[in-house]
Amino acid sequence: MTAFEARREDFYGLEADYPPESVQARDMVRQWVTDHIRPQAGSWWLEGRFPTHLIEEMARLGVFGPTLPEVYGGSEASALTYGLMMQELERGDSGLRSFASVQSGLAMYAIYRYGSEEQKQTYLPRMAAGQVIGCFGLTEPDAGSDPGAMRTTARRSDRGFILQGAKRWITNGTLADVAVIWAKDEAGIVRGFIVPTDTPGFTAREIHTKASMRMSVTAELYMDQVEVSPDAILPAAEGLGAPLGCLTQARYGIAWGTVGAALDCLDTSVTYTKSRIAFGRPIAATQLVQERLADMLSEVVAMQLRARQLARLYETGRLRYPQVSLAKRDNARGALTVARMARELLGGNGISVDYPPMRHLANLETVDTYEGTYEVHTLILGRDLVGENAF
Ligand code: TGC
Ligand code: FAD
């Protein structure tokens, strides 16, 4: 890395406080993404294909459940290390980070936080190894921002529980071996279930119409009288707070991941504008282009500071979910702003997947929406400020 590159990557010198193991994990993931993802990302994105052949390599990098105890296949990594891993995956493509976020922050975390000891031992080590893929079914066709309005039901049967309903926009839905499904019981209380996706009555159908997040598999799930055994229920999950607790983990990963997408856009813009000649000189030597680059840097630094402080709060047990909402909301929006500026600076080339900004820009439209839209996080912050629920 040249001195110029190092400066824009870490303009405020945050890395000086990073422990060596965090830097090492970040660099390892970054190198892997450079070697295995970047060269193909544009074509996989156009084809609408997730590189499933790389799942086991991702597992070897340790990006699935890294913060979990070793006994469950984790490496007891810090929140900072986890964040930096997500940053490097999303530098490659938001779909790659999404795959890891859903596997780790949503599916594995749900089992770790709300599962029985037997469920943890059965699933977590194999999920960390990439041998079992998970998905997380909360959103429904008619319940997205307001998951409390879900219609999927779980009623007791002689042999366990019967699930009935549909989920929509489920990342990894057709790749998953197990789905963590959220459903209301007879009393209307939200419960979580680990559902093997080969259970009779369970169908996953891929959504092929996406113009965003194309390197990620997204699906609809249908459950028609799906009967699961009594030990499929997550015993410690009772009420909407349980799935929302999982969202806090994934939103934390997004706060970091978006920094990676923004850094990639900034890097691409600097390199491109230094070599692109117009009116007899590099466009980087014009004032308007430099202003644009400075604006991008300013946004990136603000995003990095939010993510870094979030890691500190997490590691010291002081993290409150509205703080995560602020970082998710503003980092997703910040990355979108940076990607849009990068796309403009690349002119006509900016709309081609031969360069990353348009791909990041399109992906970030999803990132801005999923895990709580900009408006939802605004209202979470409003409620935190004034104590009034305005949803
Ligand atoms: P509300 O009354 O606010 O909350 C019910 C209970 O849950 C608690 N809680 C949370 N706990 C932990 N983390 C959070 N983020 C929490 N948010 C709320 C809350 O304290 C309460 O506990 P208790 O003990 O008092 O009962 O419930 P509400 O129905 O008013 O919900 C409001 C709202 C809008 C905040 C919530 O429903 C929401 O966050 N909506 C957005 C839905 C969303 O983000 N869906 C994401 C689906 S998953 C996904 O998109 C995966 S993308 C793939 C990837 O990550 O890459
Ligand atoms: P809606 O809730 O219908 O919102 C539509 C618009 O109305 C938004 O702009 C919203 O901000 C606004 N709005 C809603 N309520 C209010 C209000 N009170 N005040 C002001 N504005 C409001 N979900 C999962 O469960 N698992 C997954 O793995 C998953 N992966 C996803 C992958 C992709 C590619 C996408 C696109 C989505 C994914 N989601 C997943 C779903 C995602 O979380 C939802 O799309 C998101 O929460 C928004 O819900 P919705 O699409 O139903 O929009």
Closest residue to atom 33 of ligand 1, CA basis? 146
What the chain holds in terms of domains, given with CATH numbers, is 14-129 (1.10.540.10), 134-238 (2.40.110.10), 241-386 (1.20.140.10)
Pocket test for ligand 1, best of 113, 240, 320, 374 (most atoms within 8 A of CB): 240
Radius of gyration of the chain (CA): 21
**DSSP string for residues in 221-278:** EEEEEEEE-GGGB-TT--STHHHHHHHHHHHHHHHHHHHHHHHHHHHHHHHHHHH-EE
CA distance 67 to 137: 22
Q: Which atom of ligand 2 is nearest to the CA of 210?
A: 34
Q: Name the DSSP class of 227.
A: E
Q: Which helix (H) or strand (E) holds 382?
A: helix 374-386
The rounded distance, in Å, linking the Cα atoms of 105 and 375 is 22
Task: Burial-class residue 36 by CB neighbours within 10 Å (0-12, 13-18, 19+).
Answer: middle
The atom number, within ligand 1, closest to the CA of 391 reads 34
Could you give the C-alpha distances from 296 to 226, 271, 363, in angstroms and in order?
49, 14, 18
Distance (angstroms) between ligand 2 centre and the Cα of 375 equals 10
Residue type, 102: V
CA 260 to each of CA 7, 178, 238, 263: distance values in angstroms, whole numbers, following the listed order:
15, 29, 35, 5
| Ligand 1 contact via 96 beta carbon (within 6 Å) | no
The H-or-E segment that residue 344 falls in is helix 321-345
Substitution candidate for ligand 1 out of 87, 98, 244 with most atoms within 8 A of CB: 244
Contact 240 CB / ligand 1 (< 6 Å): yes
Ligand 1 atom 25 nearest Cα: 241
pLDDT (0 to 100) of residue 348: 98
Residue 147 Cα: closest atom of ligand 1: 37
Token digits of residue 244 = 């929302």
**Which residue owns the Cα nearest ligand 1 atom 5?**
241
How many whole angstroms separate alpha carbon 83 and alpha carbon 114? 23
Residue appearing with tokens 């307001």: 146
Copy the structure tokens of residue 56: 């086991």
Helix then strand then coil, % of the chain, to nearest 5 = 60, 15, 25
Amino acid code (one letter) for 291: E
Residue 167 is inside which H or E element, if any? strand 160-171
Bridge partners of residue 221, in order along the sequence: 167, 204
The model's pTM is 0.98
d(CA 74, CA 126): 11
- Pocket flag, ligand 1, residue 244 (CB < 6 Å): yes
Indicate the top mutation candidate among 82, 247, 380 to test ligand 1's pocket, ranked by most ligand atoms within 8 A of CB. Answer: 247
**CB-based contacts of 167: which residues, under 8 Å, 6+ apart?**
137, 138, 139, 140, 152, 173, 181, 220, 221, 223
Residue type, 208: H
Could you list the mean pLDDT of each consecutive 10-residue stretch along the chain, which spans 391 residues? 89 97 98 98 98 97 98 98 98 98 97 98 98 98 98 97 98 98 98 98 98 98 98 98 98 98 98 98 98 98 98 98 98 98 98 98 98 98 98 95
